[in-house]
């Protein structure tokens, strides 16, 4: 049987102490708490929680000799503990991952077997267990989920895949697990998928300045010139905005197009004007065409020229008619 304490488990697990106290650890998961204020345990009624514990006690560790036979056997009927869901939509696997109960999480994944519905179950924030594994920085749990057949392309309520989360948090191990253990067709999609803000994984890693992750993504063939939808900036534009000299150099090394322009028509080089880092400007100068080095004329200058032309042309309107009569100008 299982205990929810993070200790090395013997072969025969036992439940000691009050189960709710064992599961409810006072851990400050800041990223999780940004999205919700409790893990789902507090939202359960006592009788519901007690039933979950009874179901949990029915889970037995199977001998290692039986593992091979289980892999080739038909999928067993759904166990009762798989049906337990909190008001936040968390399954027991969600809760085990949130509370970083790694041995328990791994055993639940093993017990789930080929039940992809359970492994890919989304809570009310659209988070699957693998989302939470990346949020809580547990790449070994993410690896186990991928090997069990979970889908890494599922998006949460912000449109983030697990790879988006790993890139935004700067988890190089998480990125490595996802890119190494995701099936090829999933990986191709993950590298180009955008979240609901229109950001690719490369955009998120660039914004945060995680150079190792940026280089990893570029080596896997991500689109270095992909534009974010807000104003059409590429990762190179973002690097200039952030004045990240090392990122500018890395992107150029991997073939970033310095002549891509934003929706307003600005090249990365033009964004260097008025900024202090002259090294970035020099890096971009040799890759930028002459016409995209100078700033375009401002709209204010154009409007002034239009006004002066209008003042000089006193006969701009010479055919005014009021009441059927031509009005002399």
Q: Sign of the CA dihedral 41, 42, 43, 46?
A: positive
325 three-class SS? strand
Burial of 16 (0-12, 13-18, 19+ CB in 10 A): exposed
Please give the distance of CA 171 from its chain centroid, rounded to a whole number: 11
Distance CA 193, CA 222 (A): 10
pLDDT at 74: 52
Distance CA 273, CA 62 (A): 66
Q: What residue has token string 């939509």?
A: 89
Decide if pLDDT at 212 tops 70.
yes
For 176-228, the DSSP string reads HHHHHHS-HHHHHHHTT---TTS--HHHHHHHHT-HHHHHHHHHTT--TTPPP
pLDDT at 24: 41
Among 42-46, 58-62, 171-175, the least confident range: 58-62
Beta-bridge mates of residue 325: 322
Q: Supply φ then ψ for residue 178, to 5 degrees.
A: -65, -40
SS3 content of the chain, % helix, strand, coil (to 5): 50, 0, 50
Percent of the chain exceeding pLDDT 70 equals: 66
326 three-class SS? strand
Decide if pLDDT at 26 tops 60.
no
Distance CA 260, CA 96 (A): 46
Q: Domains in the chain, start-ordered, CATH in brackets? A: 1-67+76-151 (1.25.40)
Share the mean pLDDT of the chain.
79
> Do the strands 325-326 and 321-322 form a parallel or antiparallel pair, or are they unpaired?
antiparallel
| DSSP assignment letter at 302 | H
Decide if pLDDT at 211 tops 60.
yes
Decide if pLDDT at 92 tops 90.
yes
Among 39-48, 109-118, 270-279, 304-313, the least confident range: 304-313
Among 15-19, 50-54, 80-84, 220-224, the least confident range: 15-19
pLDDT at 100: 95
Decide if pLDDT at 71 tops 80.
no
Give 237-274 pLDDT, tens digit per residue.
Answer: 999 999 999 999 999 999 999 999 999 999 999 999 98
- CA distances for 120 relative to 61, 100, 116, 242, angstroms: 23, 18, 6, 37
Residues 6+ apart with CB under 8 A from 148: 109, 110, 112, 113, 119
Please name the helix (run of DSSP H) or strand (run of DSSP E) that holds residue 2, with its range, or none: none
pLDDT at 12: 33
Distance CA 98, CA 100 (A): 5
* Banded model confidence at residue 17, pLDDT cuts 50, 70, 90: very low
Give 120-178 pLDDT, tens digit per residue.
Answer: 999 999 999 999 999 999 999 999 999 999 999 999 999 999 999 999 999 999 999 99
Please give the distance of CA 76 from its chain centroid, rounded to a whole number: 34
pLDDT at 54: 60
Decide if pLDDT at 34 tops 60.
no
pLDDT at 296: 72
Beta-bridge mates of residue 321: 326
């Amino acid at each position: 049987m299982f205990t929810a304490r993070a200790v090395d488990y013997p072969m025969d697990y036992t439940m000691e102490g009050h189960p709710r106290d064992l599961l409810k650890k006072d851990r400050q998961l800041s990223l999780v708490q940004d999205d919700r204020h409790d893990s789902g345990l507090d939202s359960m009624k006592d009788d519901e929680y007690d039933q979950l514990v009874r179901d949990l006690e029915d889970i037995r560790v199977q001998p290692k000799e039986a593992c091979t036979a289980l892999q080739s056997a038909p999928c067993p009927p759904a166990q009762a503990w798989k049906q337990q869901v909190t008001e936040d939509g968390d399954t027991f696997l969600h809760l085990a991952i949130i509370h970083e109960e790694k041995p328990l999480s791994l055993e639940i994944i093993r017990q789930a077997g080929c039940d992809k519905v359970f492994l890919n179950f989304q809570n009310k924030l659209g988070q699957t267990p693998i989302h939470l594994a990346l949020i809580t920085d547990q790449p070994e749990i993410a690896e186990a989920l991928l090997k069990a057949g979970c889908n890494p392309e599922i998006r949460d309520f912000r449109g983030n895949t697990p790879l988006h989360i790993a890139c935004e948090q700067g988890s190089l191990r998480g990125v490595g697990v996802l890119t190494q253990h995701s099936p090829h067709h999933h990986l191709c999609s993950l590298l180009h998928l955008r979240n609901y803000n229109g950001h690719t994984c490369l955009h998120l890693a660039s914004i945060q300045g995680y150079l190792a992750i940026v280089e990893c993504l570029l080596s896997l063939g991500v689109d270095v010139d992909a534009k974010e939808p807000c104003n059409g900036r590429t990762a190179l534009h973002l690097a200039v905005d952030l004045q990240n000299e090392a990122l500018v150099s890395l992107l150029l090394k991997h073939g970033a197009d310095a002549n891509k322009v934003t929706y307003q028509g600005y090249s990365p080089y033009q964004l260097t004007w008025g900024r202090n880092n002259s090294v970035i400007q020099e890096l971009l100068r040799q890759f930028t065409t002459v016409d995209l080095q100078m700033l375009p004329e401002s709209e204010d200058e154009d409007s002034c020229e239009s006004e002066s032309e209008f003042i000089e042309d006193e006969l701009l309107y010479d055919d005014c008619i009021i009441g059927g009569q031509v009005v002399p100008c």
